[in-house]
Amino acid sequence: MLKKFKDLSEKEILAIAIAAEEEDGRIYGEFADALRDEYPSTAQMFEEMREEEVGHRDRLFAMFRQRFGDHIPLIRRENVKGFLTRKPVWLVRPLGVKVARRQAELMELEASRFYARAASRTTDVSTRELLNKLADEERKHERAAGQLEEKHLNASAKAMEDESHRKLFLLQVVQPGLLGLMDGSISTLAPLFAAAFAFQNSWKAFLVGLAASVGAGISMGFSESQSDDGSLTGRGSPWLRGAITGLMTTAGGIGHTLPFLISNFHVATLVAIIFVAVELLVISFIRHRYMDTPFLQAAFQVIVGGVLVFLTGWLIGSA
C-alpha cells in the first residue's frame, strides 16, 4: 500500500530525501558516463550535478543522524503517492543528450516541490531550515542545467557536440534509411518491369511490384537488425535501424509500383518510369546532402545502376 504524504513522519521524510538524493546522484552519474564519449561537455555538466546531489545527501544524513540515529527506515519515493514514475532512460544506449537534459529538469522540479512541501510538514526548526535551503537550491538547479551548459558548452564545445550529434544521426538514421531506399528503388525495378512487359497487364505488374517491395523490406529489415547490435559501432538500436531500413526499402519499391494501379498499361508504365527518375534524383540528393558526395557523381552512380537494372527487367520481360 502506498502511503499518503500527509501521513509521513519527519523521520520518514528525511529518509525519503536521503534515498532520493542518492538515486538522483546515481542517475546523473549514469548520464555522465553515457554521454562522455560523444558529449564530453554535457557529461561534465552532469558530473557536477552528481557531486551536488552527493553534498545534499550528506547534509540530510547528518541531520537524520543528529535527530534519529544511524538507522534509516527503508522508504523511497515509489512508496509514497504523488511522486512521478520515472522511465529508466538512463539505461538506454545510445542515450540522447536532449532526453537526458529534459529528464534532469523534471528531476530538479520534483525535488524542489518535495522539499518545499516537506519543510511545511516539519516542526523541528533546524530540519525545516535545512529543507527550505535545499528547496531553494533545487529551484536554482532547475536553471542549473542551463547555467552549467553555458559554463561548459562554449562555442567550440557546442560545435563539437553538434558535429557528434550529426554523426550519430547519420549512423543511426540516414545510413540505414538510405540503404533501404536505394535497395528498394533499384532492386525491385527488374522484377516489376519484367512482369510489366511480359504480361502487358497493369494489375499483374502491380501485384509483382507489391510482393517484391514488401518482401525486400522484410528481408532488408531483418538483415540490418542482425548485422550488429550497435554496442561497438555506435549505430544505435538494431531494431530501430532494422525498422528504418525495412520501411524505406518498401517505400522505395512502392513508389514506382503504385502507378500500375492505372488501368491503361502504357500510361501506367510511363508514370512509373517518371517515378523511377524522381526516386533516383532524391537518392542522389540525399547522398550529396548527408554523405558529402558531389551531386553529379552521386547522380551518375545511382542513375547508371538504376538504368542497368531497368534494362535487365525490360529485356527479360520482352524475351
For residue 79, the number of C-alpha atoms closer than 13 Å in the C-beta half-sphere is: 13
> What residue spans of the chain are helical by DSSP H?
10-35, 40-68, 97-120, 125-142, 144-152, 155-169, 175-187, 189-199, 202-227, 238-255, 265-290, 295-318
Q: Which residues, 6 or more positions from 90, have their beta carbon under 8 angstroms from its beta carbon?
A: 27, 30, 31, 34, 100, 103
| pLDDT tens per residue across span 258-312 | 999 998 988 998 998 898 888 888 888 887 777 667 777 777 777 787 788 878 8
User: Model-level pTM?
Assistant: 0.50
What is the pLDDT at residue 160?
A: 54
| pLDDT tens per residue across span 99-118 | 787 788 778 878 888 888 88
Residue at grid coordinates 534524383: 281
The percent of residues in the chain predicted with pLDDT above 70, rounded, is 85
| pLDDT tens per residue across span 158-203 | 555 555 556 666 667 777 877 888 888 888 888 888 888 888 899 9
